[in-house]
Amino acid sequence: MKKHIIHSIVFLLLVAYNLHAQTSTQMRNWYISPRKMDMSLSTPIPSTITPVSGSSVAPTAASVANGMYDDNNNLLFYVSDNNVFDYNNTFMGSIPSGGAEITIVPFGNNSDCQRKFNVFSTTGGFSSTSTLWRSVVDMNIFSITPILVDTISYQGLTSTEYGAIAVGQLTASNTRYLYFLAGPGTINSPEAAIKKITIHIDGSTTKNGRIYPTQSNPNSNAGGEVFAQELDLSPDGRWLAWASFASVNDPLGTQYRYHLLELDLDGDYINNSYKRFNIPIITGNNYVADFRGVEFYQSANSLKLFMGAGSDGIHYVILPWSNWANYPTPPPPTDFIQVVNSNQGYGFSQIELSHNGFMYSSSDPAINMIQNVGAFNPSLIIPLILRWPQSFTLSNPNPPKTTEGTGFYTLPDQIDGQDYSAIEKQASKE
């Protein structure tokens, strides 16, 4: 009992810290190929710096883009698709990749200039297995070592998603929890899973197994519902959310697009907490390809879940919603707020919160030639995609084409609530 009380106090202190500092602890610099974006400014328009030339492999960021910088805003390394480059823009090696997101996780707090990082990524696609990898990037010797962490298999099914991942900040016991989601995309199939992985302070991992669905909490339609390109963990580590990638118009009838489950203090699924819902009266629920965005915003007063809704833009709901106890009754329409002017392709994109307090979403330049990346303030009751010049464009190179032939930039995934300044201060390349 005493241990549980101490654990609860530590958890509440961490939550209080996150409520105060979610935005200030986001990455101060983003890498979006081939540019560095300074996100520390109070304005929604970041300054752009093109990295030095000389790479032996041209960065494209068709699938993923992310990077790590030191406390002086110097580039340490970056990842573009499955290629890793050092701060001189020299190709270091490749990571297993194919999914729509990767996460860079430091070893411990990177004190004493260890300069070692895990890059977690997923593979899969047209196979019966999705895999989770950690690639050890050692900036002391400029090496990359891919290590297989876990798999999710589908017993003869041949089409799977590449998988989605979310990572939490350091716990009081100096560990992190990583969540690995994958499914076959088959509507009437139970094969799908969310697995929990413990990341230790030395960078090693331990498999904790499936947390959802379980034998005591089955989901006969998990194959179609536990299937996404983006998975997000709330800064306090309490909620997991995703938008399912499989078709919602199928012979079984309308399927649910958005999904949410609650976690306990140990990062495990709370029985019967899984919720699924659509945004009422929104046709964008029915979009299949390139439907990915989910992002939490936690302030001192509320927790908002922002969701990309295809052609209907971006919406948010405050958690827990007013009729939470009446599940499976969906939330009423009045519980959802639309991000105004967000219908120019932004509802198809990933959504990322930044150090400057703004959220960003990428648009299709064929629809919206002026602003390829739009910004809005998530703290407002009715957020507004800010028009030119409050949004910025990335025109060189042009964004890659998606499966529908449209072009979107892949935004860098972050660890929400992570104090990146503590990492970067010790992770200098000198």
Q: Which residue has the higher pLDDT, 119 or 329?
A: 119
List all residues 6 or more positions away from 326 whose beta carbon is below 8 Å from its beta carbon: none
Q: How confident is the model at residue 16 (pLDDT cuts 50, 70, 90)?
A: very low
Average pLDDT on 186-199 reads: 87
Which residue in the block uniquely carries the two structure tokens 């698709």?
A: 81
Of 6-10, 196-200, 223-227, 304-308, the one with minimum mean pLDDT is 6-10
- pLDDT for the residue 114: 56
C-alpha dist (Å) from residue 228 to 25, 47, 116, 195: 26, 32, 29, 14
- pLDDT for the residue 9: 36
User: How many percent of the chain have pLDDT more than 90?
Assistant: 30
- pLDDT for the residue 330: 65
Cis peptide leading into residue 397 (ω within 30°)? yes
> CA-CA distance, 195 to 178, in Å (whole number)?
8
Say if residue 53's pLDDT is above 70: no
Say if residue 61's pLDDT is above 80: no
Reading the block at residue 47, the tokens are 């300054």
Q: How confident is the model at residue 3 (pLDDT cuts 50, 70, 90)?
A: very low
Q: How confident is the model at residue 422 (pLDDT cuts 50, 70, 90)?
A: low
245, 292 in Cβ contact below 8 A? yes
Average pLDDT, the chain: 79
Average pLDDT on 38-44 reads: 86
Domain 2-426 maps to which CATH number in 2.120.10, 2.60.120, 3.40.50, 2.60.40?
2.120.10
Say if residue 246's pLDDT is above 70: no
Say if residue 164's pLDDT is above 80: yes
Reading the block at residue 237, the tokens are 């580590």
Of 47-51, 108-112, 169-173, 226-230, the one with minimum mean pLDDT is 108-112
Say if residue 244's pLDDT is above 80: yes
- Name the E strands within 313-390: 314-319, 336-338, 351-353, 359-362, 373-376
165, 184 in Cβ contact below 8 A? no
Longest CA pairwise span in the chain (Å):
60
- pLDDT for the residue 380: 94
316, 354 in Cβ contact below 8 A? no
Q: How confident is the model at residue 223 (pLDDT cuts 50, 70, 90)?
A: confident
Q: How confident is the model at residue 8 (pLDDT cuts 50, 70, 90)?
A: very low
- Which residue type occupies 326? N
Q: Which residue has the higher pLDDT, 249 or 359?
A: 359
* Sign of the dihedral through C-alpha 371, 293, 178, 357: positive
Domain ranges (residues) in the chain: 2-426
> CA-CA distance, 396 to 394, in Å (whole number)?
6
Three-state secondary structure call for residue 210 = strand
Q: Which residue has the higher pLDDT, 144 or 153?
A: 144
- pLDDT for the residue 5: 40
> CA-CA distance, 402 to 350, in Å (whole number)?
13
Cα end-to-end span (Å), the chain: 47
> CA-CA distance, 211 to 213, in Å (whole number)?
6
Reading the block at residue 421, the tokens are 């300044």
Q: How confident is the model at residue 280 (pLDDT cuts 50, 70, 90)?
A: confident
Digit-coded pLDDT (tens) for 337-352: 999 877 777 888 889 9
Reduced to 3 DSSP states, what percent helix, strand and coil does the chain have, rounded to the nearest 5? 10, 35, 55
Of 93-102, 140-149, 199-208, 416-425, the one with minimum mean pLDDT is 416-425
Phi then psi dihedrals of residue 20, to 5 deg? -85, -30
Phi then psi dihedrals of residue 52, to 5 deg? -65, 155
Say if residue 378's pLDDT is above 70: yes
